[in-house]
Amino acid sequence: MHEIFPVAAGVLVGLLAFRVASFRMRALLVAALSVVFGVIATIISGEALISWAFVLIDIPLVLGTSIVTVLVLTYATQRSTQRR
């Protein structure tokens, strides 16, 4: 249940990054927002009270979800463009 926020944040980051045209800016945005939302997820879930090591789980979770979101959106966009 505690991993819903990092996954949802990753989808949001992916959607935002998809709108950025430059690959460098997209990568920077994904990296920066993954750290921010990963830390927020650790704090919201209360895992920070146990150990800050949970940040090392939440950040990659946000990062991975955002990368998958960008890849899926890129694939879907290219596929719909090819059909026309």
Q: How many CB atoms lie within 10 A of CB 56?
A: 11
Q: Above 80 in pLDDT, residue 84?
A: no
- Of 27 and 83, the structure prediction assigns the larger pLDDT to 27
pTM score, two decimals? 0.91
Q: What is the pLDDT of residue 81?
A: 83
Q: What is the pLDDT of residues 10-59, one digit of tens each?
A: 999 999 999 999 999 999 999 999 999 999 999 999 999 999 999 999 99
Cα separation, 19 vs 70, in Å, equals 9
Give the pLDDT of residue 2.
74
Residue 7 backbone zone (phi > 0: left; psi -120 to 50: alpha; other: beta): alpha
pLDDT mean over 57-75: 97
